[in-house]
Structure 1
Amino acid sequence: MKILIGTTRPFHLFHLANALASQGHEITVVGYMPRSRCELKIDHVVYISLFWKYFPITVLAFQRYNRFLQGWATLNLMKKVDKFLVKHLRNKTNQYDLFIGLSGCAVESFDAAMSKSIKTICERGSSHVSYQQKVMLDSSSEFLDVGYVDRELKGYSKANYISTLSAFAKNTFLEHGVPADKILLNPLGVNLERFPSRSFRPIDNQDFSIIFVGGWGYRKGCDILSEYVNRTEGSSLLHVGTVGVSSFPGGDRIKKMGHVANGDLSALYQKADILILPSREDGFGMVLLEALVSGCYVIASKNTGGPEIKEMAQHYSGIQIMDDVSVESIARCVDAFGKVTQSEYTDFVANVRPSLGWSGYGKRYWESFEKLVK
């Protein structure tokens, strides 16, 4: 099958392209990531990079010093990529069977694809944007651009199908009136080579390190996480990522180190004892899988892909799901890690970990799509 994937940054869609290409599909990807930073298997995937076409706006989208300027550039680029995709799809020499478009980016391009009887999937990495917007408004310090929200909603309505990454995300679409037979559910995979496993390390409740990877803010439950650390003697927290508009607590036991490239995270996971993601809203939480296959203990809220990862990991005790977003729930999960044995960890590494890679994700994605279209 000939498949077109339209995106902005890579996100998980470059991994999807590789996985689908390995199944024998012909893949073309359009995005504005520079070719030099592209992780596509070029021999199997055609990549059309728009980085220089829309330079210097692309540079503004990648910089991390001014989030408002970054947001403006990203929204602007979404519109430009969408227009490029429309022209690409209307070109008679470009024939496709399926178009997968990143939510917020693909809008008019869905119309262009469907006018040629091409099946369309809106790829959404988070919860329904209206749910996400409500959570962010509750924080009083985070918000979504109204133009972005409008593009998201239009994309949902236009596409044949919407792909989600967790049951939590899928349920937010159901709650907003999207029919169940329009929604795909497929948890992500992870690069097993980039994140090697370590030897078994039992948890010491009197002295343990926590790592949080992602944007610091209310939506990610960081207020609860910092409160837990401040209340718990012997714990320490390292934040890896941007802070944004939220205030960072700091202190002797709470440190930050800013953005770190994905390829450099492995060393940080190797040092940490526990990764915690207590999100109030999170489409999946790629860091959960990265940390888990590295050997970290993992705690996740129900509002992430944590429950799906727990199931894929065959209910391995090294990942615990919070009952609710609270300090007490984090504490209960940490206590549960005391029951993890070396034999259970060894079994997880040998027999479960290999199934969590990107190839499994691609296979699940295609199987889910085929079930819906039959």
Structure 2
Amino acid sequence: MKVALSVPGKFHTFDLARELHAQGMLAGVLTGYPRFKLRNEGLPASLIKTFPWVMAPYMANPFKHRMPHQWVREHEHLVATTFGHWTASALPPCDVYVGLSGSSLKAGRLQQLAGGRYVCDRGSSHIRTQDALLREEHLEWGMPFRNIDPRAVAREEAEYEQADCITVPSGFVFDSFVGRGVPPERLRLLPYGVNLARFEPTGAPDPQRFDVLFVGGMSLRKGVQYLVQSWRELRHPAKSLTFVGSPSPDVIDLLKRAGLWPDEARVLGHVPQLELKHLMSRSHVMVLPSIEEGLAMVMAQAMACGCPVIASEHTGARDLFEDGQEGFIVPIRDPAALTDRLQRLAEEPGLRSRMAAASLERVKRMGGWRDYGQRASRIYSDLVAS
């Protein structure tokens, strides 16, 4: 059996490609990344095809983050359509074609016409669920909402309908598809692998303090608005709150106007992995109250550093740990629940220590990318056999 993959960027597709290549199954991987950025991906150059002509100029543009939203939307549409057309023309012979959602429809149809199988790989919730959750959140907080491009919604829904099956990374994503009418038998749950080689405990939290960590883009999607509310209610004489990841002046301004932003919070931006594992090791808890995402692997990284996690139901947390054992899982948009769990950890050092130890044990049982590749290949083999 031979499997071909396509992805406009890289994401987890190259991790999958390496594992399929190790199994002798990789027909090729097609990407919008320029070849020089793929030298260290551990794959033979002959198995990589690139179409960088639309993606690369955007990546190289130093002003891309200042571009008007409509320009960005048109560029994303251009990337999806041109990459999709090119993939259909360049797809190598294969038994199974796996395309990241959003740009795989044309190649998928051609693959099926040739007698092969087409798998749509979706990394987040159903696109209409994603759009609805984010729209609700922005309306609730009075922040302008740039809805998902209707052309992107139409492309994705056509892919969901056309594909022989849809792979999804978490139970939350799975349920979002079922909730939108997709039959469960057309879905395959395929949680990502975890590479924890660079994450390990490098210290311990200060027992006299209570340090709370957030890692991710500072956005309404990630739920920072609920984290700051809960942190303000947390009672501890030596508490701190640290944000790591892309800062958002707009979100900070919004929270300041609402009287919610804690001026003592530290906003570090992006940090190297070495510094990140130090921060995780020395924090009492990491909080990820996201409104919507597929499977946030930063949770596993924190657990590997002995840092318990409090996460929302919409992060894929249930696919990584058990509520009340290695951490806590709470409903979305529930600052009271966040405050309650934070207060318990702050007041019960023994509970925090037990969860830290349980987290370290749990990550030992998590599958790596090799396990992910084996699970994926079984899905593809069963699809071909059916």
User: TM (normalized to structure 1)?
Assistant: 0.85
| 2:50 alignment counterpart | 49
Residue 300 of structure 1 corresponds to which residue in structure 2? 311
Instruction: Quote the Cα distance in structure 2 between the aligned partners of 1:106 and 1:263.
Output: 36
Q: Is the 8 A contact 1:202 1:340 kept in 2?
A: no
- How far is 1:153 from its partner? 1.2
2:98–2:120: 8 Å Cα contact kept in structure 1?
A: yes
Q: What corresponds to 2:204 in structure 1?
A: 201
Single out whichever of 285-294 and 126-135 deviates more from structure 2.
Answer: 285-294
Structure 1 pair 37–231 and aligned structure 2 pair: CA distance change class (3 A): farther
Kept after mapping to 2: 8 A contact 1:215/1:241: yes
Q: Is the CA contact 2:307–2:356 (under 8 Å) kept in the aligned structure 1?
A: no
1:165 aligns with 2:169: yes
- For residue 243 of structure 2, the aligned residue among 232, 238, 242 is 238
Change (3 A) 1:273 1:189: farther
Aligned residue number for residue 189 of structure 1: 193
Residue aligned with 1:155, SS: helix
Aligned counterpart in structure 1 of residue 366 of structure 2, from 355, 363, 368: 355
What are the superposed Cα offsets for residues 49-91 of structure 1, whole Å, 9 maximum, x if unpaired? 22257542443599444472444323311111101111113xx
1:125–1:165 Cα contact (<8 Å) kept: yes
1:118-176 deviations in Å (ceiling 9; x for gaps): 21111111000011111111123332122222221121112111111111111111111
The equivalent of 2:25 in structure 1 is 25
TM-score w.r.t. length of structure 2: 0.83
1:114-129 aligned at under 5 Å gives the runs: 114-129=112-127
| Structure 1 alignment gaps of length 5 or more | none
For these two proteins, the number of residue pairs brought into alignment is: 365
1:100 aligns with 2:110: no
Q: 2:298 aligns with which of 275, 287, 293?
A: 287
The structure 1 residue matched to 2:287, chosen from 266, 276, 296, is 276
Q: Distance in 2 between matches of 1:229 and 1:144?
A: 31
Deviation at 1:33, TM superposition (A): 2.3
Tell me the percent identity. 25
1:331 aligns with 2:339: yes
Return 5+ residue gaps in structure 2 as ranges: 256-260
Q: Give the whole-Å Cα distance in 1 for the aligned partners of 2:68 and 2:217.
A: 12
Deviation string, structure 1 residues 302-338 (Cα, Å, up to 9, x no partner): 1121001015xxx783332114531222233332574
Q: Give distance in 1, aligned partners of 2:48 and 2:204.
A: 42
Letter aligned with residue 52 of structure 2:
F
Alignment match, 1:78: 80
* In structure 2, C-alpha distance between the alignment counterparts of 1:21 and 1:83, rounded to whole Å: 25
Counterparts of 2:251 and 2:162 in 1: how far apart (Å)? 35
Contact map agreement 1:123 1:163 (CA 8 A) in 2:
yes
For the residues of structure 1 that align with 2:63 and 2:49, how far apart are their CA atoms?
18
What CA distance in whole angstroms lies between the structure 1 residues aligned with 2:270 and 2:62? 15
> Aligned partners of 1:258, 1:343: CA distance in 2, in Å?
30
Moved over 6 A (4+): 261-264
2:204 maps to a residue whose letter is: R
Query: RMSD value over aligned CA atoms?
Result: 3.0
Instruction: Tell me the secondary structure at the aligned position of residue 295 of structure 1.
Output: coil
Greater gyration radius: 2
